[in-house]
Structure 1
Amino acid sequence: MNKTILLLMTGMIISGAELSYAQQRTYTMAQATNGLRQDLAPERIKQFEWIPGEDAYTRAVTANGAAAWVKYGVSARKSAASPADTLLTLSQFSKQLFAGAKSLRGFPVMHWLSGTEAWCNIENTLYSGRLENGAMQFHVWCTLPVDAENITVNPQSRQIAYTIKNNLLLHNTSGVTQQITNDTDVNIVNGKSVHREEFGIDKGIFFSPKGDLVAFYRMDQRMVNDYPIVDWSVVPAHANIIKYPMAGGKSHEVTLGIYQPSTQKTVFLKTGGPADHYLTCVTWAPDQQSVYVALLNREQNHLWLNQYNAVTGELMKTLFEETDNKYVQPTHPLTFIPGKPDQFIWWSNRDGYTHLYLYNTQGQLERQLTKGSWVVNELAGFHIAGNEVVITAAKESPMEKHGYAVNLKTAALRRLDQAAGWHDIQVSSNGAYLLDSYSAGNVPGVAQLAALSGKWQEQLLTAADPLRDFKRPEIRQVTLKADDGTPLYGKLILPVDFDSTRQYPVIVYLYNGPNVQLIHNTFPYSGNLWYEYMAQHGYIIFTMDGRGSANRGMAFEQATFRQLGTVEMNDQLQGVAYLKSLPYVNQQKMGVHGWSFGGFMTTSLMLRHPGVFQAAVAGGPVIDWSMYEVMYTERYMDTPQENPEGYATSNLLTKTKNLQGHLMLIHGTNDDVVVWQHSINFLKACVDNEVQVDYFVYPGHLHNVLGKDRTHLMQKITDYFDANLKL
């Protein structure tokens, strides 16, 4: 017995030593950069999907080294784990598809068509599967051309729409391909997303509810200026010409077509008005007789919700209008109430926050469904038995997202989760159950099922902490105030082994632009492992969402209107003042870093507030807003002709003489969002004014440097700060 105790004690000592050693680990740059998407990613439920018409779902699992696609039943009457049926193993799937000629490394994304049929896409060959005797049997459905894109499958009709280059095609249920459009001019584009994917637009193909009609965007961009994106990977280099509409210039013109496969004819909606207006929120009526479109003027301050006849294209009526003295920003289609084809939910910021409104199809407001000084984030589905719509919202805090059910008749709201954090909700087809997946600062991930009626729930996953063995920094939540008293939320990340009697260099990481929020209560609480890497190497990191960023309501967002880069910098300077008040911050060793809008902010701080920071790295920065795209820029700045003072104030080409300290700009050579000319022109201005600046490019990369090259990028940034803030 004494030997046993001694062995146990020895084992405990060894384990403790191993744990102590393991907790001293520091991140490699590769882990700090891509770890949360690779070896340090918390475990997640893979390929979860509710099965249509059933209280059941599927997910991809791995057991004993073998991957499988498994079906689980759900019942609130059961307290134990739901029974599971293996529908398909990966080896079986490979044999069905390739007869042993090759093996898949993992399941492709599987989509349910019905309770017994599913499909997937592997290299543009579509496979359909049917449930037979408790197992799935897959076969080739159709093979599309290798250059087919925007592949859209309608579960009801089984028709498949896709694009080839700039034209739209349809593969019907008889296996016949119909050419919906046949435009020979490459600058007339069909079936793709338009308006540079603003206004929530992420597709250009819209099947009708029964799937027998197809609505599609047609974009004429012949009038837009050509812009070269140079491919440097070939010799000689080749210029790929794109169309890039810059603020104040010619914009493209968009129409919406309705294709009838039975007649093979298309009618275009007669939207009228100026041709460069925006068509958003495209929604089929449940009876397929009409299509709803939100028509937004180019000034983006006046919206008309219109109903058009799907057969003739004629305007039937305008349901209502919305105006704002700054801008209206529609981003969601109509959502019709199940079983009530004359009622729909409309998203609006009209009361200052993003909320839901119940309308009838005559354009009459039935009631405002959500209200308060908080925003709705998503509409997840409907709890039909409870006559409720299920949403997520920032009601508890702008830094958290929770699930709620809202009664469609009374607008009564109830919270569906209990734990702090950032929750994502997936609702079953009849709304009886939901999957709640969430994380929080120190909660790597939890997934649980819950019944919409009652208190039943079942835990599916509690992820282990993949960072438990690393030496991690202390993180402090910070709340500051803007000059108008608005609360500003940020995080202060202290160096590991922090000593309050020492002074440390500090890096401010920022974005602070529209539609983006950096500060969330998610895992990891730092928000970024590179921040923690820098803390492991003796830096303080500070990040904060100033006015102009997302999830705080319209007054917060619109505070920057017509003056991008002014109010936001005032807020970031409040953060600087806070940092300088801390005795352990070395005020002579302060750096700033950001990308895209954050790159614009970084460069602006160095030129419009010189001397505050000693070193800065600006990635993909906007330098002159008159060279940025029409839709985004004119929403927040109006046109250069209407707001010359605002554009002049924010133009960084005229301010290079102000530079103090060290500034490095980084750009991807193939950037088609913030085109390379921004930083090239900035270099020219620096040369003209005899100002020294550092510069680095990433050949072949677009607006972001992704993949393995991102490790190189973050090492480059780190080395720059080390050279200028540490040595």
Structure 2
Amino acid sequence: MKGETYNSANGGTYFQAGKVKQLTKGNWLVSDVLGFNTKRKEVIFTAVEGLRSGHFAVNVSNGKISQPFENCKESEHSGMLSASGTYLIDRYSTKDQPRIINLVDTKNFKETANLLTAESPYEGYQMPSIETGTIKAADGTTDLHYRLMKPANFDPAKKYPVIVYVYGGPHAQCVTGGWQNGARGWDTYMAGKGYIMFTIDNRGSSNRGLAFENATFRRLGIEEGKDQVKGVEFLKSLPYVDSERIGVHGWSFGGHMTTALMLRYPEIFKVGVAGGPVIDWGYYEVMYGERYMDTPESNPEGYKECNLKNLAGQLKGHLLIIHDDHDDTCVPQHTLSFMKACVDARTYPDLFIYPCHKHNVAGRDRVHLHEKITRYFEQNL
């Protein structure tokens, strides 16, 4: 192999003949290295900053980049490169366009053929409005991107309940420049039922660089929760938000965040639905848990601080925990041990088990899952 590349917090690095050479630098992140244009000696890569993304080429000899990042618009791109690196299948979406697939010449990154322009599946429907923006993190300096979805028949004179959808962990960016700014179908559905839907990408989430992700190192869930509370403070500043009716929902790391927010901030969150939550990082798979928490031996205080069983007595609101009995990622021991802690503390969460599913609910049972989640918010928020 003559050379290879990898992505980093602010650019790409190229290895050739045993030497390391940094090829790119900027306030954006190389999210994917697609391959190499053998004729032009260029690395083809995808970069992202905030809600903007795009494809680029950088020459390995002189470091010249095909276009300035500032030319990128709000969008979400992925790609597949031809063997020679001459052509690129560019797959992307924007806030209002669900899917476009173009054939692109990597010489100038201009479209040579449009392969697909998908129609909106919501054509003809009254849709909620979506706003994006930034607020400051709990550190007072870092900008965090948020998405706020309002009902289609929004009346600024009314007070609306809010559901915060959270993931919050590494390897995920929930607020994007892509279709619906990353909102899920369930968000749209609940907005149609009269809820304001809110999501913020806290520190520790993806595509913002190493320092942003490292802010949560060895204390998973702590700084993330503080940032989520900053999001709620922003919500409470809006005259149309009912600050007494704020709920939260998430799955996996988002389930951990949901449970943690209900326990650490019981005066803020009235209702929570946590799916497949991590309760004790000591139970979680080591290749993930120890990457972000270190080992229990080297970080005992961190594991203790982040163990939600120790907070079971602080539950005040309505919390539904959903778990799959075949979950081999976040094993049922998490939820079962938390339930025992709640019994000991005399607090009363709700529990629902999905038989024969792993780390989420698939197939037709997924309809039941979202009906269950929806009903819980309708009954309690």
TM-score by length of 2: 0.95
Q: 2:53 aligns with which of 376, 379, 401?
A: 401
Alpha-carbon distance between aligned partners in 2 of 1:526 and 1:389, rounded to the nearest angstrom:
28
Which residue of the partner structure matches residue 31 of structure 2?
A: 377
> What's the offset of the Cα at 1:383?
2.0
Paired residues for 1:43-192 under 5 Å: none
| Partner AA of 2:40 in structure 1 | G
Which residue of the partner structure matches residue 711 of structure 1?
A: 367
> What's the offset of the Cα at 1:694?
0.5
- The alpha-carbon distance between structure 1 residues 542 and 472, as it changes in their structure 2 partners (threshold 3 A), is same
- The alpha-carbon distance between structure 1 residues 364 and 684, as it changes in their structure 2 partners (threshold 3 A), is same
Whose radius of gyration is greater, 1 or 2? 1
SS in 1 for 2:292: helix
Q: 1:437 aligns with which of 86, 91, 99?
A: 91
Q: 1:475 aligns with which of 130, 134, 142?
A: 130
Aligned residues: 377
Q: Residue deviations 1:94-149, cap 9 Å, x none?
A: xxxxxxxxxxxxxxxxxxxxxxxxxxxxxxxxxxxxxxxxxxxxxxxxxxxxxxxx
Alpha-carbon distance between aligned partners in 2 of 1:640 and 1:419, rounded to the nearest angstrom:
44
Paired residues for 1:456-471 under 5 Å: 457-471=112-126
- The alpha-carbon distance between structure 1 residues 456 and 660, as it changes in their structure 2 partners (threshold 3 A), is closer
- The alpha-carbon distance between structure 1 residues 693 and 441, as it changes in their structure 2 partners (threshold 3 A), is same
Higher deviation after alignment, 694-703 or 426-435: 426-435
Q: Does the CA contact (< 8 Å) of 1:504 and 1:585 recur in 2?
A: yes
TM-score by length of 1: 0.51
Q: Does the CA contact (< 8 Å) of 1:475 and 1:526 recur in 2?
A: no
Paired residues for 1:234-313 under 5 Å: none
Alpha-carbon distance between aligned partners in 1 of 2:229 and 2:72, rounded to the nearest angstrom:
36
SS in 2 for 1:532: helix
Paired residues for 1:675-690 under 5 Å: 675-690=331-346
Q: Does the CA contact (< 8 Å) of 2:174 and 2:182 recur in 1?
A: no
- The alpha-carbon distance between structure 1 residues 456 and 475, as it changes in their structure 2 partners (threshold 3 A), is closer
- The alpha-carbon distance between structure 1 residues 408 and 658, as it changes in their structure 2 partners (threshold 3 A), is same
Alpha-carbon distance between aligned partners in 1 of 2:306 and 2:136, rounded to the nearest angstrom:
24
> What's the offset of the Cα at 1:708?
1.1
SS in 2 for 1:556: helix
Q: Does the CA contact (< 8 Å) of 2:23 and 2:60 recur in 1?
A: yes
- The alpha-carbon distance between structure 1 residues 515 and 354, as it changes in their structure 2 partners (threshold 3 A), is farther
SS in 2 for 1:618: strand
Q: Does the CA contact (< 8 Å) of 1:375 and 1:393 recur in 2?
A: yes
Which residue of the partner structure matches residue 323 of structure 1?
A: none
Q: Does the CA contact (< 8 Å) of 1:622 and 1:674 recur in 2?
A: yes
| Partner AA of 1:412 in structure 2 | K
Q: Does the CA contact (< 8 Å) of 1:534 and 1:541 recur in 2?
A: yes
| Partner AA of 2:293 in structure 1 | M
Alpha-carbon distance between aligned partners in 1 of 2:188 and 2:366, rounded to the nearest angstrom:
17
SS in 2 for 1:493: strand
> What's the offset of the Cα at 1:469?
1.7
Provide the identity percentage: 46
Unaligned 5+ segments in structure 1 are 1-335, 337-342
- The alpha-carbon distance between structure 1 residues 346 and 459, as it changes in their structure 2 partners (threshold 3 A), is closer
More strand per residue: 1
Q: Residue deviations 1:314-339, cap 9 Å, x none?
A: xxxxxxxxxxxxxxxxxxxxxx4xxx
- The alpha-carbon distance between structure 1 residues 456 and 576, as it changes in their structure 2 partners (threshold 3 A), is closer
Unaligned 5+ segments in structure 2 are none
Alpha-carbon distance between aligned partners in 2 of 1:445 and 1:552, rounded to the nearest angstrom:
24
RMSD (Å), alpha carbons? 1.6
Alpha-carbon distance between aligned partners in 2 of 1:684 and 1:418, rounded to the nearest angstrom:
51
SS in 1 for 2:52: coil
Q: Does the CA contact (< 8 Å) of 1:403 and 1:415 recur in 2?
A: no
- The runs of at least 4 consecutive aligned structure 1 residues that moved more than 6 Å come to none
| Partner AA of 1:471 in structure 2 | Q
Which residue of the partner structure matches residue 428 of structure 1?
A: 82
Q: Residue deviations 1:561-617, cap 9 Å, x none?
A: 111111001100000100111111111111000111111111111111112111000
> What's the offset of the Cα at 1:415?
3.4
SS in 2 for 1:711: helix
Q: Does the CA contact (< 8 Å) of 2:56 and 2:66 recur in 1?
A: yes
